[in-house]
Amino acid sequence: MKLYIKYMVSLRCKMVVHQELERMGIKNAIVDLGTIELLDDICAAQKQILKENLLKTGLEVLDDKKSILIEKIKNVVIEMIHYSDELPKENFSDYVSEKLGYDYTYLANTFSEVKGMTLQHFIIINKVEKVKELLLYDELNLTEISYKLNYSSVAHLSNQFKKTTGLSPSFYKQLKQRRLGNLEDL
């Protein structure tokens, strides 16, 4: 039995789900981003209890096919950008389409209809969040970050970053240094 979970986008969420399954005595489960694969079926009452308990933690068990597809799309994008060591060299549209086994146009139209934003914009938002994270770690320079995230150039990364955040990447990085400086003055 496979269950799809909305808002389950981090390792911490996976831990919460593991704990809830253990608390309910449900063993033999594989928990991944956005999914729980139960190797043994559970009854309707157990499923309802699981739904209610996960809802208390901000996670939601999905039932309708469109919502499940949207979560799958989001999880593929999040996993691709935030949790893989290297982004695919192919177009993101080809990658998402291949991973989910649907035509990209269908995926993009469904995503836009349900989420009110394009799939491409969702990918850009996640890439910019990853850029922010990498800038704050201060381990890579902007050229290395643009290469790591498959930007065609540093200028392209900078333009997308500024369009999304309203700040240039270098100014964003300076804000971090100013905040640290202010803390030292206390």
Strands (E), the chain: 2-6, 29-32, 35-38, 60-62
Percent of the chain with pLDDT over 70: 95
- The answer to whether domain 2-63 and domain 67-177 are alike in fold is no
Q: Residue 63 in 3-state DSSP?
A: coil
Domain 67-177 matching CATH 1.10.10.60: the answer reads yes
At 161-175, the pLDDT tens digits run 999 999 999 899 888
**Residue 73 in this model has a pLDDT that exceeds 90:** yes
Of 47, 82, 48, 60, the C-alpha closest to 13 is 60
Looking at domain 2-63, its CATH class is alpha beta
pTM above 0.85, yes or no: no
The two three-digit tokens of residue 7, written as one number = 């808002």
> What is the CB-side half-sphere exposure of residue 115 using CA atoms within 13 A?
20
Where do the domains of the chain lie? 2-63, 67-177
Please spell the DSSP secondary structure of 20-47, one letter per residue: HHHHTT--SEEEETTEEEESS---HHHH
At 30-63, the pLDDT tens digits run 998 888 999 888 888 999 999 999 999 999 998 8
The mean pLDDT value for 118-140 works out to: 92
**What is the number of other CB atoms lying within 10 angstroms of the CB of residue 162?**
15
